[in-house]
Chain A
Amino acid sequence: MMPLRSGTDMAVLLPAGGALARPVVDARAVGFTERTFSPAVLGALLALFALAVAAAEAHGQPASAARAGILATLWKWAPLLFSGFLFNLLVSVLSMALGTVAGLALGLAQVSLLWPVRKGAGIVTQFFRNAPWLVLLFYCMFLLPFDVAVFGITVPLPAWFKAVIGLALPVMANVSEIVRGGVRSIPIAQWESAEALAFSRRQILWMVILPQSLKRMLPPWMNLYAILTMATTLISIVGIQDGMTLVRSALIAEQRTELFIPMYLMLLTWFFLYCYPIARLTMALERRFAVRA
């Protein structure tokens, strides 16, 4: 007898309404090598972009010798705007690195055996998780000094570095939570066996628990990176030159309203093209490393 679409093989059951009995795609059948770009989504985005440019051309003044067409103007500004976008990416990488290192330390403090350390780390984590990213950024921009004396030498802190610190603080708190969750998700049997084998607590953490939990921490960590990359646009509000600021300045230098939609769409597209593959990779990794209950 042919298996019914709902997946049961009980002959007595009639096939349910078509909608309820859709075949289930086994996630594992899709495999690890996902297509990082779904052609449909990419095509839709490019179509939207083309539509916006066409609408802008129609809406604005016709191209003349003095005023280039929309695409030509976009092309003229694209190198500068793209360098701003690259700066966003650079800030995201630096913040992520800084935040991950600090977050790892904080997360390990959160699983410490000493109650004050645990509680203190917990409070710091909750504090920086609760504060809005923009407020923390403002805080660091305005209140961090412009140089610090380290071992008697003054080290200057440029504005973009203060922004990196400002963004690294919430990353630190989130990584701390991820680490805590990861460490706690390892079955207690691992801890007990390692203890039975006379590992010290520090050795257990570094040699047994963390290596195992790294795989589980990877998807939320990559997710956090995507969120951080998108949050780097916040630095435009505190006066740092990034992709967003340059788009605004370009729009003012050109002083044509019909450029707004195409230019913002261009920036959105660049962010999308960067973050979407990361999202797909994260999803694939999640499926691969998921713990089968």
Chain B
Amino acid sequence: MLKSMMKLAIGAFALLGPAAAAQAQDTLAKIKEKGVIVVGVKNDYRPWGFLDPSGKIVGMEIDLVNDLAARLGVKVEMIPVIAANRMEFLNQGRIDMILATMGDTADRRKVVGMVEPNYYAGGTNVLAPKSANLKQWTDIKGKKVCAVQGAYYNRRVGQLYSPELVVFPAVPDALNALLGGNCVAFLFDDTLIGSTLASGDAKWKDYEMPLASEDPQLWAIGVRLADLNGPFGEFVKKASTEWHKSGKLIELEKKWGIKSSPYLKATHEKLKGS
């Protein structure tokens, strides 16, 4: 962390940057020239991107990032981002790519370029104590439900089922609040909930993911709109296709203990032959 800061400070004040005024230029060439790809990732979202005690960020998305960097032959610099700032960071050049559990929505496509084929599809669900006895989505009406700032499903769930949303800046806060009993359920993506429940921690013994996963949302790698059809965008698209074809995503899914996703299976089948 401190090392990267020093690097940035020196870079800024040594006035070395060959970075031209506009960032929309050939990102791929720039990355290869700098020898570093800067990626925005999550560091509080098990098992996609989270911290281990040494401070390193690990997770399934990190493995994908490392794979991309290996293909390019460059080093990786990972910037922890949250839902509320990742698109800003990308558009202003702070990061070259977003690989941070970002949901692919029509609104967001206006702001950020979404790489297809999407690398995952998550559904929305809740984590709730068994004693809450939630059986269907309409059961959360009027109840306090913890959520995280910037998640794309907050608005939809809020409007459809009228819970009392209690929105926190980050995932750890919301989970901690749930454990403290400040809300009845935690609204989030079902992979995080599934991985939390599967982690075997006794604290979660009395919790469950009771509702039917709704609103399956494709997740996408984000690149700048200008890069989407350029060399960088094409490179990422190719990599993503190969991940599906080779079954690498399904392999990684198993490695990180994520419940097998029908989307991945279907896409693998579809692209296997091609």
A156–B53 alpha-carbon span in the complex (Å): 30
Q: Mark B42-71, 1 if CB is under 8 A from A, else 0.
A: 011010001111110000000000000000
Chain A residues contacting B173 (CB-CB under 8 Å) are: 248
State whether the Cβ of A98 lies closer than 8 Å to any Cβ in chain B.
no
Tell me whether B202 and A239 are in contact (CB under 8 A). Answer: no
A205 to B92, CA, bound (A): 43
A260 contacts the other chain (CB 8 A): yes
User: How far does the Cβ of A20 sit from chain B's closest Cβ, in whole Å?
Assistant: 48
Whether, in the assembled complex, A76 has its beta carbon less than 8 Å from a beta carbon of chain B, the answer is yes
Is B216 at the interface (CB under 8 A from chain A)? no
- Is the beta-carbon distance between B5 and A158 smaller than 8 angstroms? yes
Q: How many of A's residues come within 8 Å of B, CB to CB?
A: 40
Q: Does A2 interact with chain B (Cβ within 8 Å)? A: no
Q: Pick out which of these stretches binds chain B: A8-16, A102-110, A124-132, A141-149.
A: A141-149
- Contact check, B52 vs A154: say whether CB atoms are below 8 A apart: no
With A146-B94, A149-B21: A155-B55 Cβ-Cβ less than 8 Å:
no
> Are B54 and A80 in contact, CB atoms less than 8 angstroms apart?
yes
Binary contact readout B162-182 vs A (1 if CB under 8 angstroms, 0 otherwise): 000000011111011001100
Contact of A156 among B52, B81, B93, B201 (CB under 8 A): B93
Interchain nearest-CB distance for A177 vs B (Å): 30
B94 touches A158 (CB 8 A): yes
**Which chain B residue has the least Cβ–Cβ distance from A147?**
B93
Instruction: Using CB atoms, name the residue of chain B closest to A157.
Output: B12
Pick from A222-230, A250-258, A274-282 the stretch touching chain B. A250-258
Cα(A164)–Cα(B237), bound, Å: 37
Among the 9-residue stretches B83-91, B131-139, B240-248, the one with 4 or more Cβ atoms under 8 Å from chain A is: B83-91
**B160 an interface residue at 8 Å Cβ cutoff?**
no
* Cβ-based interface call for B235 (8 A): no
Cβ–Cβ < 8 Å partners of A154 in chain B: 17, 19-21
Chain A residues whose CB sits within 8 angstroms of the CB of B80 once the complex forms = 239, 241, 245
Partner of A255, one of B12, B17, B201: B201
Distance (Å) between the CB of A180 and the closest chain B CB? 32
Contacts A146-B92, A147-B93 given; does A252 touch B46 at CB 8 Å: yes
CB < 8 Å: which of A157, A158, A238, A246 contacts B85?
Answer: A238
- CB contacts (< 8 Å) of B94 on chain A: these are 146, 156, 158-159
**Do residues B84 and A239 form an inter-chain contact, with CB atoms below 8 A?**
yes
The answer to whether A248 touches B170, judged by C-beta atoms less than 8 angstroms apart, is: yes
Which residues does chain B contribute within 8 Å of A80, judged by CB atoms?
51, 53-55
For the A-B complex, the count of residue pairs with Cβ-Cβ distances under 8 Å equals 110
Instruction: Evaluate whether A248 and B21 lie within 8 angstroms (CB atoms) in the complex, with A146-B93, A257-B203 already known.
Output: no
Report which residue of B55, B170, B171 has the largest number of chain A beta carbons within 10 angstroms of its beta carbon.
B55
Which residues from 187 to 241 on chain B have a C-beta closer than 8 Å to any C-beta of chain A?
A: 196, 199, 201-204
Which residues in A have their C-beta under 8 angstroms from that of B266? none
Given A61-B202, A146-B93, A158-B8, CB of A248 within 8 Å of CB of B19: no
Closest residue to B196 on the A side, CB-wise?
A: A255
Least CB separation from A152: chain B residue: B21
Given known contacts A146-B94, A239-B85, A257-B203, A156 and B44 CB-to-CB distance under 8 angstroms: no
A160-B5 in contact given A77-B53, A80-B53, A252-B171 (Cβ < 8 Å): yes
For the complex, what is the distance from the CA of A239 to the CA of B173, rounded to whole Å?
A: 13
Question: Given that A239-B80, A248-B172, A256-B203 are contacting pairs, would A153 and B8 also be in contact in the complex, using a CB cutoff of 8 Å?
Answer: no
**Complex contact A248–B203 (CB within 8 A):** no
Residues of chain A within 8 A (CB-CB) of B203 are 255-257
**Would you call A87 and B201 a contact (CB within 8 A)?**
no
CA distance A157 to B13 in the complex (A): 11
Q: Does A246 lie within 8 Å of B202, measured CB to CB?
A: no
What are 26 A-B contacts with C-beta separation under 8 Å? A80-B51, A83-B2, A86-B2, A142-B85, A146-B89, A146-B93, A153-B17, A154-B17, A154-B21, A156-B12, A156-B94, A157-B12, A158-B5, A158-B8, A158-B12, A159-B85, A237-B169, A246-B55, A249-B51, A250-B51, A252-B171, A252-B172, A252-B175, A253-B50, A253-B51, A255-B199
Q: What is A's interface to B at a CB cutoff of 8 Å?
A: 61, 76-77, 80, 83-84, 86-87, 90, 141-142, 145-147, 149, 153-161, 237-239, 241, 245-246, 248-253, 255-257, 260
4 residue pairs, one from A and one from B, having the closest CB atoms: A146-B92, A248-B172, A252-B172, A239-B82
Further pairs besides A142-B88, A251-B176: 12, Cβ < 8 Å? A80-B55, A142-B85, A146-B94, A154-B19, A158-B12, A237-B169, A249-B43, A252-B44, A253-B52, A253-B53, A255-B199, A256-B203
